[in-house]
Structure formats: C-alpha cells, structure tokens
Structure 1
Amino acid sequence: MSIVWDRHVSNGIRELGYDIQNKQLVVVLPGGVRRYYAPVPYDVYSALFHATFPERLYQETIEGKIPRIEVAGYQ
C-alpha cells in the first residue's frame, strides 16, 4: 500500500491519506483514530481535501455511505 498523506486538513480531520492503486481513503480523526474506506474514487478524496468544510463533506459523502474496511494492524 502506497499512501499519499495530507496533514492537518481541519480541526476535525487531522490527516487524510489516499492509496491511488487500491482506491483506499484513510481519515485520521483527533486522538489518532484511523478510519479506512474503500472503494473511494479519487475525485471524492480530492473534494474532501479541498473542501471549505471537510467535516461536513465527510459526514455527507463518506461516513456511513462508503464501506469501512479493516486493515491489518489498525482499527
């Protein structure tokens, strides 16, 4: 897995990671909680990173709508 990371996206989303090959999104929340999602199209990741209110976009387009996946070694 080769992930591109974006640091300090907003107060509610500390980091975003995206694996282009596997179309996996990693959302790091405050406290270091990591959530993995797939499949996530690149344009959804890009919109989330560039959004004025990324937490709102995350809630509206990703959380509960795109499957959360398990990644070995992480919750």
Structure 2
Amino acid sequence: MKSLNIATLILVILGGLNWGLFALANIDIVATLFGGTDTVLAKLTYIVIGLSAVYQLLPFSQAISVGEITAENMNY
C-alpha cells in the first residue's frame, strides 16, 4: 500500500500544480496534453487525480488522529 500512497500523493501534487498554473497563467496542462478538457483521456486523468485526492484523506485523517510518525508506520 505504500506504493499506492506515494503514487496518489504524486498525482495530487501534479493536480495541484496544474490548478496553480491554470490560476496564474490560464494554462491547463492536462487539457494541453490530451487535446482539450472534453476528451476521454483528459476526463480520465481528472477522475484519477480526484480519486487520488479522496484516497489521500485516509493517511491525512490517520496522521491527525494518531500522529504523523505513528501513521507513517501503519499499514493501510
């Protein structure tokens, strides 16, 4: 599960950077790479990034409830 946690965290970070670029320079990297926001690949990318954010709620809530160091050592 650690690899899933790292993969989803990377996707959330990339999604955040994409939103930052969109806000600052009106550049949507996902739309640029996949030919627009309405393409199937772009929509799938947005969905995977969104699901990654939802998944990241698990380690976040564990870090809040038991502490960050203890949560890092847990297998979820």
TM-score (norm 1): 0.25
TM-score in terms of structure 2 length: 0.25
Q: Considering fraction of residues, name the structure with more helix.
A: 2
- Structure number with greater Rg is 2
